[in-house]
Chain A
Amino acid sequence: MTDTAAGTVHDRHGGLLRRISDTLFRHPHLLLTLLIAPPLLWLGIVYLGSLLALLAQSFFSIDEFSGMVKREFTLSTYAELLNLANVDVILRSLVMAVAVTLAAALIAFPIAYYAARYARGRWKAFFYLAVMLPLWSSYLVRVYAWKLILAKEGIITWLADKLYITWALDAILALPVIGGPSLSISYIGTFLVFLYVWLPYMILPTQAALERVPANLLEASADLGAVPRQTFWTVIFPLALPGLIAGSIFTFSLTLGDYIIPQIVGTSTYFLGQAVYTLQGTAGNIPLAAAFTVVPIVIMGIYLSIAKRMGAFDAL
């Protein structure tokens, strides 16, 4: 046995900082509270608070004579939302968002699958770079670049001419509703730009989900007699679905809310974001603008509850 002088077993030295860290060690909840309080205040008060204030506006209405907001509870603004013209805007945005999301999922999945399963080292770095690089440049620059690409004097028209497929381009532009005088002044153009701009937001979560699918599950599936098609639909797809859903939340809501792309590329008809932008700006109709912002929130809510009911999040 060795004799130990009292007080030499533990290190009891240290000043204020030491004492603070000791206190935090003894009270882990205090540390947690200190860490999450600022973001919680930000999210809870600044963000959610202003969102609620905005939503509350949708239950007011505007005085048709004075143009002032009447601060009385009414559903008349929502009734206005159901005007044929407004429903048109909502449906147009909804169809565009669905189309962009489906197309993005179709294009993103093979890319994400390749990156998750096969790309290694240098190729993986290249993948990330290729997907992320467009996000580093200005959104406006990219959209205007697309306007030039899609314009009648643009590279697509030129290429079609050189390849002697102008007839095909003309046939596409001649399509009812989605066609138009040129790609940059048609719904097809709007769709293509939306698709390009939001595609990374679909690829990345899908790739992350696929990356988490252990390779031995695919071997187990094959071992149990599943041909590759069955393995895809019964193992890979369900396990990647949360990633696809996460990606679709991005592409869907970003398309629903965007007001710049349809303004630069496309017809002069309104999408949801443009309607909100105009109503709260030049028109000064804050209640109707607020009612319009409720629409994508409700649509997303419905979409997520359907996805949940279909078991999209079971693999989480």
Chain B
Amino acid sequence: MTSAVSFQHVSRHFGPVRAVDDVVLDIAPGEFFAMLGPSGSGKTTCLRLVAGFEQPTSGHIEIFGETAEGLPPYRRNVNTVFQDYALFPHMNILDNVAYGLMVKGMPRRTRETKARDALDLVELKGFEARRPSQLSGGQRQRVALARALVNEPKVLLLDEPLGALDLKLREQMQVELKTLQRNLGITFVFVTHDQSEALSMADRVAIFNNGKIVQVGAPKDIYERPRTRFVADFVGSSNVLPPDFTQRTGGPGKWVSLRPEKITIAAGGMKPGSHAVEATVTSVHYQGAVTRVNTEAAGQAIAVSAPSSFGAVNIGDIVTLQWPADAFHAMEDEA
């Protein structure tokens, strides 16, 4: 099957900076694909390479089997939802949404009908005559989405589209985006630095660091089996433990990740047996259903996520931490 987007050893250098460094990636048609990484990791540059705002320094990009090299953005059947929406301030909402159809020469009546349908899709009926400046952040975000979708792109690129929204709105938009994508069947490529957003929305996630892809996989794979220390650090609030520590507690003598929710906490000192340590409570954070307990064991910080019903611990308490034998996940030692 042809990939929706195919990166074949793609690099993009800005002077000495390797913004994107030998990326190999295939995104399947109809997939909701997230590019996750810290700022400056190359994920946005990858998106811009697909959109056509950047050209690769070396390598090859295909969109649905057709080479994209040298094609300017306006010749690609790909649309972008920009981070700060980039709505045209001098046009009303209807003209903004109809813009792509207008420049392609579609007659006014047809394009306005389509634009109204697109606004309907993002639940913004009745806003046609307003200016972008009269809309809230969430509404602008929807306009940007409608403006891209009305062109029926083969691939929709989203550059941190929810970054400017507050938490509640962001969670609501996450659900709506996901539903929309499923109903439309368009390939979504979604760039974000928010790991929970990537994990909750995407079918597959690529983790970027220093211009390279560190790991690609389903959210569950990435969360439970991070390939490197970097992934474990970045993706979740996992405990990343060094080889000497794991060896002392019956582990493999490699870097491992240990999920806070796999650890059980018991009051009092050490009981005999491996896969357990004695630790001192350093702070306690009540979070509703769970309580996060930060502890320290032999100079190593270990976070525990325990059900709030487990009983009270206080700062300075000596506790025993225990985990199942298979809770350690060994990783490559790569920052």
Bound Cα distance A303, B74 (Å): 37
- Are A220's CB and B86's CB within 8 A? yes
Whether A220 touches B89, Cβ cut-off 8 Å, given contacts A225-B103, A225-B151, A226-B103, is: no
Interface size on B, residues (CB 8 A): 24
B80-112: CB near A (< 8 Å → 1, else 0) gives 101010111110000000011011100000000
Q: Is A53 engaged at the interface, CB distance under 8 Å to the other chain?
A: no
Q: Is A234 engaged at the interface, CB distance under 8 Å to the other chain?
A: yes
Bound Cα distance A219, B83 (Å): 12
- Are B74's CB and A226's CB within 8 A? yes
Which residue of the partner chain, among B84, B86, B89, B100, contacts A225 with CB atoms under 8 Å? Answer: B100
Bound Cα distance A315, B132 (Å): 11
- Are B100's CB and A224's CB within 8 A? yes
Bound Cα distance A221, B100 (Å): 8
Which residue of the partner chain, among B73, B84, B90, B104, contacts A223 with CB atoms under 8 Å? Answer: B73
Bound Cα distance A171, B73 (Å): 48
- Chain A residues with Cβ below 8 Å from B79 are 223-224
Q: Is B310 engaged at the interface, CB distance under 8 Å to the other chain?
A: no
Q: Is A230 engaged at the interface, CB distance under 8 Å to the other chain?
A: yes
Residues in B98-130 with C-beta less than 8 Å from chain A: 99-100, 102-104
- Are B82's CB and A238's CB within 8 A? no
Bound Cα distance A235, B86 (Å): 12
Whether A315 touches B90, Cβ cut-off 8 Å, given contacts A224-B147, A225-B104, A230-B103, is: yes
- Chain B residues with Cβ below 8 Å from A220 are 80, 82, 86-88
Q: Is B72 engaged at the interface, CB distance under 8 Å to the other chain?
A: yes
- Are B99's CB and A239's CB within 8 A? no
**9 sampled A-B residue pairs with Cβ under 8 A:** A219-B73, A222-B53, A223-B74, A224-B79, A224-B99, A225-B104, A234-B103, A235-B88, A315-B89
Q: A219-B53, A222-B74 are in contact. List 16 more A-B contacts (CB 8 A).
A: A217-B88, A219-B51, A219-B82, A219-B86, A220-B80, A220-B82, A222-B72, A223-B51, A223-B74, A223-B148, A225-B74, A225-B103, A226-B99, A226-B100, A235-B88, A239-B89
**A residues with CB within 8 A of B:** 214, 216-217, 219-227, 230, 234-235, 238-239, 314-315
**B residues with CB within 8 A of A:** 51-53, 72-74, 78-80, 82, 84, 86-90, 99-100, 102-104, 147-148, 151
